[in-house]
Amino acid sequence: MKKPLRVDERSLRADVNPVRLLTFKIDDRDVSARADETILTVARQNGIKIPTLCHMEGLSEHGACRLCIVEVKGMSRLMPSCVTLPRQDMEVLTKSDRVLDYRRKILELIFSERNHVCSVCVTNGHCDLQALAVEMGMTHVRYDYIYPTHPIDATHPRFSVDHNRCVLCLRCVRVCDEIEGAHTWDVMNRGISSKVITDLNQPWGSSETCTGCGKCVQVCPTGALSEKGKSVAEMVKRRQFLPYLQMMRHRE
Amino acid sequence: MDEQMQSAMKSTEDRRWRLVNRTMRLHGHEPHALIETLHAVQEHFGFLDLDALKYVSQALRVPLSRTYGVATFYHHFTLKPPGEHTCVVCKGTACYIGGASGILDDFEKTVGIGPGQTTPDGKISLVTARCLGSCGLAPAVVFDGEVCGRMTSEAVLERIRRWTDHDPDD
Amino acid sequence: MTLTIEDLQNIAKIERDRQEGTTYQINVCVAAGCLSCQSGLVKEAFDTEISRRGLENWCLVKGVGCLGLCAAGPLIQVQPQGTYYQGVTVNDVSEILDSLGGSPVARLECSQHQAFFQCQQKIVLENCGKIDPERIEDYIAEDGYLGLFTALRQMTPGEVIEQVTKSGLRGRGGAGFPTGLKWTAVSKAVNNTKFIVCNADEGDPGAFMDRSVLESDPHRVIEGMAIAGYAVGASHGFIYVRAEYPLAVKRVHTAIAQAERLGVLGNNIFNTRFEFNIEVRLGAGAFVCGEETALIASIEGRHGRPRPRPPFPAEFGLWGFPTLINNVETFANIAPIIRRGGEWFAGIGTEKSKGTKVFALAGRVNNTGLIEVPMGTRLRDIVFEIGGGIPGDKRFKAVQTGGPSGGCIPEEHLDMPVDYESLAAVGSIMGSGGMIIMDETSCMVDVAQFFMEFCMSESCGKCVPCRVGTTQIYHLLHKISGGQGKPSDIETLGELCDLLKNTSLCGLGQTAPNPVISTLKYFKDEYKAHIRDKNCPAGACRMQAPEEAL
């Protein structure tokens, strides 16, 4: 027998109707969103491409690379789409000249910071940063290269870290803390001298907390973290485990 | 395990460790006591060594890498033992306008060490500060905790000479 | 046993009697500025000399907070005449004591009628230089904790917020966000646990207002925080102080202990159900911790790296709980507002900037020190009247406000009123109140480079524009000041500044370019002289000789 439809009338109050779903515009297209979804999420659901670097599906948002910035009508400052929530009737532009110009400059700043020499890099051809440069049509860097001197740490039996390629997206720090639960990685110093470290800034191979799971290597966007003994062609990062682990942990 | 034992020993025998432990106890050994505890360690030992960082990490259940990260993020903390005497030159705006960089240059020329360095004999450390708040007396220099205002290169070097010449050990 | 209003009045009466019992009172400044000119020894000398002469019942010696004119330290004031003596040494003590009752010692006198003392209006600093910061009784004798009593016993939390809103008080930490609005937001947040945080991480180089307030009148800040706690529904507060201010830290600790002992902090304050406790947390040398979210991270024991806002601390603050963060000076304004009403406060200042502002005058100016003037005072009056002008016949060049986030204001704008909007209009900010005066010997490219070096080393390193952008700007300025700049560098500088302003994560990165933008705007010729003629007009930069440059 069909159940009769029951409505608790006391819960119906038009004056306190919370807005949980909303509609807004991305690049002049009407889109709908749940109020807790970021602009980036909604854009990707609708097939609108926004470049990202520190963002990684399955990890907490860091909001630091600023490549996913978008223009919101009525606001002078550009907003990072990975951490900005939409509002009803907001108008978002992801490809305005201003946005593209700023993104280009930020990408060039990243390239100028450390020694990103693709031709001798182990991830040449599989690198997120390289792909971004191609996608944005970056042909040269207008800023002076800083050319810092950074060491390579190959003390770990299976992996190595080359700080010359690091972009400080902190995906390794987050995956190690949030997914593996070891918190082997963190950042030392600040500003331009920031550097990712294992334990007490000791050689990776001597780390007491590292489980050797290699998740950090897989999520690293560049050649900063790589597997030993793999050729350039083989050094493809596998990231399928992240959504899988997320699903397995939250099933109930 | 050995190290843990050692740390535990240290904690009871040395009065300084007892004071550090007290700080941690007052904060219920919560991870958020990390910075307060590092202050306590530095106050009693003069600097943060790796053993101390390890001990504090374990006691507060903070990951090692975070402890190291916090200790290096904040410029107040130092991981190197300081010299016998410390000279802090204020590099706040007022002191800069008042000629602090000249003092630093002359210091480096005469004593041979730059900011953040200690003389090879471990006698003198030179540190710069981001404004001591004594801007009315710019340029300000602190000699072993004593703030002196309206300093000149000559006056600073005179104080340094007194440190190097009149030490009873020499 | 809880404190009642009668107890409070009683304490005040005993204290007043004690002070009025002596014919003379000598106030010796024992704030950090004068202490570094040995004022501590001067006070001791007075104490010894008075007990040697057996004059204890005739003359009272008191260590007080900042008397303002730090340039003339050690400074003392003799009451009831109000005579100031400057540059007092131990050897002058007998002479000053001898002069009591007769004519003052002309040799040391520092005229109390000069503009420095006459043109000020004191609210925040009303007790500075008047009370002994280490005695709660002295504060109570000046109507201390009466504001808290009034709030707790005669007003609802809503009424307290209404008075603060009515007063038009705006955050004194720099951005000038309306305080009433912030308090309303936190009071509306639904949570049983809320926190009050007092931001005393005065990191701007060249600013020492917060330090002076905490050193000279710590109870005022505690009272303001307790009133805020009552208004928004918080029972726990933190004072986040720089470790570089040991004296301020010590006095705040003393003040909290005294307040707890007396019962103005703790449970059932003034026989109400309100409880409030305050803890001190030490900063550790990071300018970025002045930013709200970084400050929260630091109190939580983590790196001081800001996170994107929203959510704002009012919703999601310390450990995720709603948190009210205000600056020292903001809290210091609260008790007088409650005691005298929001309308009284709103009657001072300009239309949009109410009340007074404390400034720390420093740099190339005669009267360096701490001043408090009504909002809207002309900048020229501050520099030339109160500040006493530029020493040594030099020409005024610029005044820098707002520290590394502010800008340099040239002579052509000296006649503008000092308020939030006017300062923003000329490309600077109010900031926390540092005011550095520069004369013709200061090179503006060098100044810009100094601030950029500061921002570069204080950048937390989280977001790319600030981490790499400040470094790139610094390198460009370094090249220019060294005589190796290219004409195109000026354009690149401008572009980078624009990028930082619009894409950085937090306030530090967004405002870091201000010193460069403002000097590029007002002193472009100096940049050009460095690049084109390889010459520093002020003679401050060391140009590398051409062959060295190769």
ipTM: 0.92
Residues on chain C touching A114 (C-beta within 8 angstroms): none
Structure confidence at residue A13 (pLDDT): 59
Give C456→chain A minimum CA distance, Å. 7
Best A39, A109, A173 residue to mutate vs chain C (most C CBs within 10 Å): A109
Please tell me whether residue C248 adopts helix, strand or coil conformation. Answer: helix
Structure confidence at residue B7 (pLDDT): 58
Tokens of C497: 């500044």
C370 strand-pairing partners: C360
Structure confidence at residue C113 (pLDDT): 86
Query: What pLDDT digit, counting tens, does each position of C128-144 carry?
Result: 989 999 999 999 999 99
- Whether residue A207 has pLDDT greater than 60: yes
Q: Hey, are the CB atoms on A144 and C475 less than 8 Å from each other? A: yes
What's the rounded mean pLDDT across residues C68-89? 89
Structure confidence at residue C539 (pLDDT): 85
Structure confidence at residue B3 (pLDDT): 59
The overall average pLDDT reported for chain C is 92
SS3 letters across chain B = CHHHHHHHHHHHHCHHHHHHHHHHHHCCCCHHHHHHHHHHHHHHHCCCCHHHHHHHHHHHCCCHHHHHHHHHHCCCCCCCCCCCEEEEEECCHHHHHCCHHHHHHHHHHHHCCCCCEECCCCCEEEEEECCCCCHHHCCCEEECCEEECCCCHHHHHHHHHHHHHCCCCC
What's the rounded mean pLDDT across residues A76-104? 95
Inter-CA distances, C313 with A196, A251, C293, C405, C442, Å: 28, 32, 7, 22, 40
Specify the pairing of strand A195-198 against strand B117-118.
unpaired
Structure confidence at residue C95 (pLDDT): 92
Query: Which run of H or E residues covers position A25?
Result: strand A21-26
Query: What pLDDT digit, counting tens, does each position of B113-127 carry?
Result: 988 888 998 889 998
Sheet containing strand A29-34, strands side by side: A29-34, A21-26, A91-93, A69-72, A79-80
Instruction: Report which of A232, A208, A235 is spatially closest to residue A220, judged by C-alpha positions.
Output: A235
Inter-CA distances, C243 with B40, B81, C203, C285, Å: 12, 19, 11, 7
Instruction: Report which of A242, A165, A180, A171 is spatially closest to residue A210, judged by C-alpha positions.
Output: A180
Structure confidence at residue A252 (pLDDT): 63
Tokens of A146: 């800083």
Structure confidence at residue B92 (pLDDT): 82
Query: What pLDDT digit, counting tens, does each position of C313-343 carry?
Result: 999 999 999 999 999 999 999 999 999 999 9
What is the DSSP code (8-state) at residue C85? E
What's the rounded mean pLDDT across residues C393-400? 93
Give B167→chain C minimum CA distance, Å. 24
Please tell me whether residue A93 adopts helix, strand or coil conformation. Answer: strand
Domains of chain C: 5-114 (3.40.30.10), 136-346 (3.40.50.11540), 376-550 (1.20.1440.230)
- Whether residue B111 has pLDDT greater than 60: yes
Question: How sure is the predictor about B133, in pLDDT bands with cuts at 50, 70 and 90?
Answer: low
Q: Hey, are the CB atoms on C308 and A191 less than 8 Å from each other? A: no
Give the integer Cα–Cα distance in Å for C19 and A153: 69
- Backbone torsions φ then ψ of C79, nearest 5 degrees: -105, 155
Of C286, C458, C502, the CB nearest to A102: C502
- Whether residue B12 has pLDDT greater than 80: no
Neighbour tally for B1: CB within 10 Å: 5
* Percent residues over pLDDT 70 in chain C: 99
Question: How sure is the predictor about A12, in pLDDT bands with cuts at 50, 70 and 90?
Answer: low
| b/e C497-531 (16+ beta carbons within 10 angstroms → b) | bebbbbbbbbbbbbbbbbbbbbbbebbeebbbbbb
Q: Which has more confidence, A18 or A24?
A: A24
The overall average pLDDT reported for chain A is 92
Query: Which run of H or E residues covers position C363?
Result: strand C356-363
What's the rounded mean pLDDT across residues C242-255? 93
- State whether residue C293 sits within 8 Å of chain A by CB: no
Structure confidence at residue C548 (pLDDT): 43
Task: Give the helix ranges, DSSP H, for C168-291.
Answer: 179-188, 209-216, 218-232, 246-262
Instruction: Report which of C308, C509, C465, C507 is spatially closest to residue A82, judged by C-alpha positions.
Output: C308
- State whether residue C70 sits within 8 Å of chain B by CB: yes
Q: What is the Cα C132 distance to its own chain's centre?
A: 19
Query: What pLDDT digit, counting tens, does each position of C281-299 carry?
Result: 999 989 999 999 999 999 9
- State whether residue A209 sits within 8 Å of chain B by CB: yes
Query: What pLDDT digit, counting tens, does each position of C413-470 carry?
Result: 999 999 999 999 998 998 888 899 999 999 999 999 999 999 999 999 999 999 999 9
Query: Which run of H or E residues covers position A195?
Result: strand A195-198
Structure confidence at residue A143 (pLDDT): 95
Position C248: which residue type? A
Question: How sure is the predictor about B170, in pLDDT bands with cuts at 50, 70 and 90?
Answer: very low
Q: Which chains touch B (3 or more CB pairs under 8 A)?
A: A, C
Residues 6+ apart with CB under 8 A from C218: C133, C248, C251, C252, C254, C255
Q: Which of residues 48-67 of B touch A (CB under 8 A)?
A: 50, 53-54, 63-67
Which chain A residue has the Cα nearest residue B61? A183
Which chain B residue has the Cα nearest residue A187? B69
CATH of domain B85-165: 3.40.30.10
Residues on chain C touching A85 (C-beta within 8 angstroms): 310
Give the integer Cα–Cα distance in Å for A249 and A244: 9
Question: How sure is the predictor about B1, in pLDDT bands with cuts at 50, 70 and 90?
Answer: very low
Structure confidence at residue C550 (pLDDT): 38
* Percent residues over pLDDT 70 in chain B: 89
Neighbour tally for C324: CB within 10 Å: 28
Q: Rounded to a whole number, what is the largest CA-CA distance in chain B? A: 54
- Whether C350 and C80 have beta carbons less than 8 Å apart is answered as no
Give the residue carrying structure tokens 């601030």: C451
Tokens of C13: 């009466």
Least confidently predicted of A63-67, B67-71, B95-99: B95-99
Query: What pLDDT digit, counting tens, does each position of C140-192 carry?
Result: 999 999 999 999 999 999 999 999 999 999 999 878 899 999 999 999 999 99
Domains of chain A: 21-95 (3.10.20.740), 118-247 (3.30.70.20)
Give B24→chain C minimum CA distance, Å. 12
Least confidently predicted of B143-147, C459-463, C477-481, C515-519: B143-147
* Percent residues over pLDDT 90 in chain C: 77
Q: What is the Cα C260 distance to its own chain's centre?
A: 26
Residues 6+ apart with CB under 8 A from C496: A105, C469, C472, C473, C476, C513
Q: Hey, are the CB atoms on B72 and A189 less than 8 Å from each other? A: yes
Query: What pLDDT digit, counting tens, does each position of C2-42 carry?
Result: 788 899 999 999 999 988 888 999 999 998 888 888 889 99
- State whether residue A142 sits within 8 Å of chain C by CB: yes
Specify the pairing of strand C408-410 against strand C396-401.
antiparallel
Q: Hey, are the CB atoms on B136 and C438 less than 8 Å from each other? A: no
Give the integer Cα–Cα distance in Å for B78 and B42: 8
Structure confidence at residue C231 (pLDDT): 97
Structure confidence at residue C549 (pLDDT): 41
